[in-house]
Structure 1
Amino acid sequence: MDSFYDFIQNNPSSIRLQVNELLLAEYQCPLSETRYDIWSHQNYYIYVISGQKKWFTRNREILVQKGDCLFIRKGAHSVIQYFDKDFCAVVLFVADEFIRSVLLENRIELTDTEDSIDRDSLFPIEPDKLLAAYFQSFLSYLSEKDKPGDKLLELKFKELVMVTASQNYNKNLTGYFCRLCKTGSPSLLELMEDNFYYPMTLEEYARLAGRSLSAFKSDFKETFGTTPGRWLKKKRLSYSQYLLKHTDKPVTEIVFDSGFQNTSHFSREFKTELGCTPLAYRKKTS
């Protein structure tokens, strides 16, 4: 899978500014695929200048168009793009710890709500004049020949966190921010449960979890009592069983929805684990 952060950072056509791992860019999508899967080890805001795209996970999908803003929690997700108009957006990457430090340093009071406990990854942000003006100011920075200093740029990132945290009508997002302040970044258990059905490599999972590969494997064994490879295979097979039993999706679609990369490998692993083919299992459990 492609890292969206790395793509933006290394794309020569992106106009970008960076302070440490805080990254701002004007993003114009060059991809030709209708659907693609991406992941990011950093959270990011995306503000649409033109065109439209759809971000989605297994729990939710959000269509964004000109003037819309979306906060995407770190992890993996899918995107559908439309080709009727060129897509252009401002993208800003911010780490959990940066968000947490800004909110605690400025003593921003947040209230967690029951609406926010579903651990969603997509948070639409209610557009208003203040937010629109904020992103327009960032666009002016990108277009200037003389770029702003690091201190000023960092202050602009902090301003965005405080502006969105202060919008009482974005309760799910403020709920997530509230939990960041209380507990810090999501646990390894939460990250894996939320992202197992994407075909990420162990190195990518380790980076998502903020660990070296060796530390990731060690912490994983301590948390789950098994290796990442064994856990992922069992989890994906279990999810494929659920989809076979409770949906009418074709097997070829279930393969990829479960995190497997090809049908033959999936069928072989499924039969080894359950003693029958996916189609036979569906027939038996329907």
Structure 2
Amino acid sequence: MATKQINKNAEIVFSCSGSTRHNTEMISEEHCVVRVLSGELKVIQSNKTYVFGLGETLLFPRNQLSTLVKSDKDGLPYRAIVVKLTQDVLRAFYEQKKLQATLVSKTDYIIPLSQSPLLDSFFASILPYFDLNYKLPQELSQLKIQEAITVLRSINQDIDNILSDFSEPHKINLVEFMERNYMFNMPIEKFGYLTGRSLTTFKRDFKKAFNTTPQKWITQKRLELARFQITEKKRKPIDVFYEVGFENLSHFSFAFKKQFGKSPTEFVNHNLR
């Protein structure tokens, strides 16, 4: 069964993946709080991998890049509740409370949240909403988001520094960013946005830095990473292609052979000799 989402266009979503393994890319323009109800969620970022299971909760800060691997565990499919902390609701919350945060460097990682009865109670109160045969009223949705903000602030004293930061991505070092994040599969426009550049400026700066086009450079880097994973880490092509940024195995195999003269399977067979 394909991934199912209830209240798909709302701020509160029930996500269920009935497949044994389901991969997606995560890049959200809103902060998201995720509670895993069953199954397992692996979050792969440029510098770290996290694994979350039953009853665990995490915060995805907005505009962060992650690959998500959703898997069955203990005979149960991956199921989760996702609450989007929209910028409009966050602005209203902080303006009403007259709260200000001390600005700190933007986080480039997700935030695991400690176990808390407040979190348990919050998510338990949301579950009945998914039995509704109509969209959750906007007023109620906003109240629950405000409740989520209040809970987060009570269990993490540093959370204001993230939730009350409404700035857009500023111009950052393009080379460092691309070297860390080339494996994430997203449009070139999004790479530009996250480095604080328009598409035109991004392409111009990229050409200066790498003396080639973004797409050619990204493809080559992904293939080099895949070869390393296959030859040095002894991993199977089917376990590698998605993590390095390819959408399907056949396209990966074609590009790999074109680049290195041998298919991924031929590299594997050579390693087994």
Give the TM-score category using the shorter length.
Answer: 0.5 to 0.7
Q: Distance in 2 between matches of 1:255 and 1:57?
A: 14
Paired residues of 2:25 and 2:67 also in contact (CA < 8 A)? yes
Paired residues of 2:34 and 2:80 also in contact (CA < 8 A)? yes
**Deviation of residue 167 (structure 1)?**
2.5
2:50 corresponds to 1:68: no
Choose the corresponding residue for 2:143, options 155, 162, 182: 155
2:75 corresponds to 1:92: no
Choose the corresponding residue for 2:42, options 28, 40, 55: 55
Paired residues of 1:41 and 1:207 also in contact (CA < 8 A)? no
Letter in 1 for 2:258: R
Paired residues of 2:71 and 2:77 also in contact (CA < 8 A)? no
Residues 223, 102 of structure 1: CA spacing in aligned structure 2 closer, same or farther, 3 A cutoff? farther
Q: Which residue of 2 aligns with 1:217?
A: 199
Paired residues of 1:197 and 1:257 also in contact (CA < 8 A)? yes
Q: Which residue of 1 aligns with 2:122?
A: 134
Question: 1 or 2, which has the higher helix percentage?
Answer: 1
**Deviation of residue 216 (structure 1)?**
5.4
Q: Which residue of 1 aligns with 2:71?
A: 81
Q: Distance in 1 between matches of 2:202 and 2:142?
A: 34
Q: Which residue of 2 aligns with 1:206?
A: 189
Q: Which residue of 2 aligns with 1:44?
A: 32
Residues 250, 68 of structure 1: CA spacing in aligned structure 2 closer, same or farther, 3 A cutoff? closer
Q: Distance in 1 between matches of 2:177 and 2:94?
A: 23
Q: Distance in 1 between matches of 2:138 and 2:202?
A: 37
Q: Distance in 2 between matches of 1:76 and 1:269?
A: 26
Paired residues of 2:89 and 2:142 also in contact (CA < 8 A)? no
Q: Which residue of 2 aligns with 1:109?
A: 101
Q: Which residue of 2 aligns with 1:275?
A: none
- Listed as ranges, the gaps of 5+ residues in structure 2 are none
Paired residues of 1:110 and 1:165 also in contact (CA < 8 A)? no
Paired residues of 1:110 and 1:177 also in contact (CA < 8 A)? no
SS in 2 for 1:160: helix
Q: Distance in 1 between matches of 2:191 and 2:130?
A: 28
SS in 1 for 2:115: coil
Letter in 2 for 1:28: C
Q: Distance in 1 between matches of 2:144 and 2:28?
A: 21
Tell me the TM-score normalised to structure 2 length: 0.66
Letter in 2 for 1:177: I
Residues 244, 36 of structure 1: CA spacing in aligned structure 2 closer, same or farther, 3 A cutoff? closer
| Per-residue Cα deviation, 1:228-269 (whole angstroms, up to 9, x for no partner) | 313312432454466468644356655544324422312322
Higher mean C-alpha deviation, range 249-258 or range 259-268: 249-258
Paired residues of 2:57 and 2:112 also in contact (CA < 8 A)? yes
**Deviation of residue 36 (structure 1)?**
2.1
Higher mean C-alpha deviation, range 148-157 or range 185-194: 185-194
2:222 corresponds to 1:236: yes
SS in 1 for 2:126: helix
Q: What does residue range 181-200 of structure 1 map to in structure 2 within 5 Å?
A: 181=165, 183-185=167-169, 189=174, 192=178, 195-200=181-186
Choose the corresponding residue for 2:15, options 5, 27, 43: 27
Q: Once the two structures are aligned, what percentage of the paired residues are identical?
A: 18
Q: Which residue of 1 aligns with 2:254?
A: 264
**Deviation of residue 77 (structure 1)?**
0.8
SS in 2 for 1:181: coil
Choose the corresponding residue for 1:177, options 162, 165, 175: 162
- Listed as ranges, the gaps of 5+ residues in structure 1 are 9-13, 272-277
Paired residues of 2:103 and 2:165 also in contact (CA < 8 A)? no
Q: How many residues align?
A: 247
Paired residues of 2:27 and 2:65 also in contact (CA < 8 A)? yes
Q: Distance in 2 between matches of 1:88 and 1:168?
A: 25
What is the RMSD of the two structures over their aligned residues, measured on CA atoms?
4.3
**Deviation of residue 157 (structure 1)?**
1.5
Letter in 1 for 2:39: Q
